[in-house]
Amino acid sequence: MKTIICTTLLVETSPQGLPLGAACIASAIKSSPKTAGMFSVALVDFSLEDDALRALATDAARADSIARALVSETPSAICFSVYVWNHRILEAVAHSVKKLLPSCVCIAGGPEVTANPTAFTHFDYTVAGQGEGAVPALLAELFLQGDAPGAPIPGVYALCARNATHAAPQTHRALPCLPDELPSPYLDGTLDPAAYDGALWELARGCPFKCSYCYESKGEQKIAYFPLARLEKEIELFAAKKIPQVFVLDPTYNANKQRAIAMIRTIAKKAPGMFFYFEARAEFIDKELARAFASIPCALQIGLQSADERVLKNVHRTLDKKRFAHNIGYLNDAGVTFGFDLIFGLPGDTYAGFCRSIDFALSLYPNNLELFCLSVLPGTTLHDDAAGFGLEWEQEPPYHVIRTPQFSAQDIARAQTLAHAVNVFYNDGRAVPWFNAVLAPLGIKPSAFFRAFADFLHARITDSDFRARGDKSSANGATAQQDIDRLQLDFVRAQYRARHKEKLLPVAEDSIILNNALSRCTATGAESRVTLRYHPDDIMSEYATDIAFFAQHCGKQTCRVHVFSGKNGVDWRVEG
C-alpha cells in the first residue's frame, strides 16, 4: 500500500500552532470515496521549537533534516501545508525530497499557495483553495487510474513539464466541500489535541466581510457552519482529553448571535472550566451576548485595526467609534476579558494617526493590545490595490509594508519600536488593572507614555539583553514577570518625579505592586509577599482608580501582604 504523508512546519509547539490544515487533508484522503482504504496516510508535523531543528544553524540545514525524516518513510506523495511563515523552508524541503527520493510527488496547498499557486518551483502540484476535495481527486488520478489522462481538476496546478496532462492554466480555486461532508480530524483520530495541550476548533468557514488585507477578501463571502452534532462530539472529546484551552477558528464568531449563544451554552454544559479564545466583531456585541461570554472562562480578540474611519474605508472596513465604545462597555460591565488588534502602515494612515488609535484603544481598558505591521499578502484585494495607494512592501514573506506616501520608513520603524514598548509594558506586564489610573495624574496620552518608555528601555537595557533575560527565565514565568515589574516601577517613578507628583507615588506604587502580584499568581500560581503602604482592601477598592483623590483621603497603613491561590481563586492575607 502506498504511503501518503501530510505535513507542515509549525512556528511553535502550542495549541495555536497545531497542524489542523494538514490534518484536515489527511482525514479527507482517508474518508474520500476516491481514496478511502487505498493509501496508508500519516500526519507528520515539525516545529521550529523542536530541539533538533533549533540546534541547526541555517534554514537550509533544517530543510534537509526535515526532508530526510520525511523520505525515511518512503512516501509516494507528500502533501505540504504552506503558510507565510514556512513558505520558503517548505519549498526547500520539497527540493531536497526530490533529490533524495525522485519518485515522490510533492503537493502543496494552504493560504500561501492559494494566493499564487504558480509562484513555486519545487512542488510538482499546487492546490488553490480548500483541498479536501481536490487532493483526494489528484491522488486518485496519479496512483489509482493508471496512465489514462483525466479532466483538469479545479484548483490543481501542475508545475513540472512531466505533468503535461495538467498543464492547462486553472483560473479558479478548488471546489469547496460542504462542512457537513467533511470528516473531523479530531473525531477520526488523525489529530490528538492532548499532544498539543489544546485545540484549534473550526466552527465555520468563510466570512461575510471584505477586509482587503485578509485572505478572506477573495474567499467565500458567506459563512458555512459546521454541523452542531459534529461540534458537540468534538467538545465532548476535548473534555474527555482534559485539554486546558481551545482557540476557536471563526473570524466572526458572533455574526450569528443565537448560534453564538447556543454554542456558549454547549461549552458551559460539556466543558466547564476549559478556557476558550474567540475572535469577535464589536458591532455585534450587546448586553445579552456579553453576559453569555461572561458565563464561561474565555477571552475575546477584537480587530479594531484603526480608530480612523477614513483609513478603514481604504481597506473596506467600517467603524462607528461611539457604537464601538458603547458595545465594548458591555464587555467591561460583564467582566469579560478582551483585547484589540491594531495595524500600522495602513493606506492613508500616518504615524500620528496610529498613535491616536492606540490612545482610543487603551481608553477602553483592553486586556491586551496587539500591534502589527501591515502585510500586503499575495492573493488579497489589498495586494491588487497596493500600487494605487503608493505602498511599497517586501516581496518575500512576511510581506511587511516598507513605506507609504503618508507613513515613511522611519515612521514604520518608530511604530515597531512603539509596538515593542506596548508589548513589554502593557501586555507582558499585565498592566490593564492599573494602567489608566496610574497614567491619569501624569496628564499625558498613552502613546506619549509608551514613546517615553521605549526611550527608557533603550537607555536601560538593549532589546537583545532583554530577550536574553527573558529566555533565561523562560523556565520560570514568575521570574520573567518580576523583571518587567521592576521596569514598570522604575519608569513610573521617573515619570511621576519628572512631573513633581512624588506625593502620589505611594498609591501608584502600591497599585502596581499588588495588582502585579495578583496577576503573577493568577498566571503561574506563584505565591508572593509584598510590602504596601496602604491596606490591600483600600488599594483594590474603586476609590484607588482616582489616585489623587485616594492619596488625599485614605490613611496609610504599612503592612505585609501574602498573595496566594485560595479555594475560590487568588486571594491575599495581611500578615502584619
Please answer whether residues 368 and 427 qualify as being in contact, where contact means their C-beta atoms are separated by less than 8 angstroms.
Answer: yes
How would you write the pLDDT of the chain (576 residues) with one tens digit per residue? 999 999 999 998 888 889 999 999 999 999 999 999 999 999 999 999 999 999 999 999 999 999 999 999 999 999 999 999 999 999 999 999 999 999 999 999 999 999 889 889 999 999 999 999 999 999 999 998 765 446 789 999 998 644 444 444 444 789 888 899 999 999 999 999 999 999 999 999 988 888 999 987 676 668 899 999 999 999 999 999 999 999 999 988 998 999 999 999 999 999 999 999 999 999 999 999 999 999 999 999 999 999 999 999 999 999 999 999 999 999 999 999 999 999 999 999 999 999 999 999 999 999 999 999 999 999 899 999 999 999 999 998 899 999 999 999 999 999 999 999 999 999 999 999 999 999 999 999 999 999 999 999 988 865 445 444 444 433 344 457 778 999 999 999 999 999 999 999 999 999 999 999 999 999 888 999 999 999 999 999 999 999 999 999 999 999 999 999 988 889 999 997
For the chain, the straight-line distance linking the first and the last C-alpha, in angstroms and rounded, comes to: 73
The DSSP 8-state label assigned to residue 153 in this structure reads P
Residues whose CB falls within 8 Å of the CB of residue 318, separated by 6 or more in sequence, listed in order: 309, 312
Of 490, 472, 474, nearest to 425 (Cα)? Answer: 490
Distance CA 495, CA 502 (A): 10
Q: Report the sign of the C-alpha dihedral through residues 212, 280, 374, 408, in that order.
A: positive
CA distances from 211 to 187, 312, 320, 438 (A): 33, 9, 16, 36
Half-sphere exposure (Cβ direction) of 26: Cα atoms closer than 13 Å: 27
Give residue for cell 473534555: 239
Strands 2-10 and 39-47: parallel
Four-CA torsion 266, 268, 272, 274, nearest 10 degrees: 80
Angle at 403 between CA 399 and CA 404, to 5 degrees: 110
Distance CA 309, CA 346 (A): 12
The 3-class SS string of 296-317 reads: CCEEEEEEEECCCHHHHHHCCC
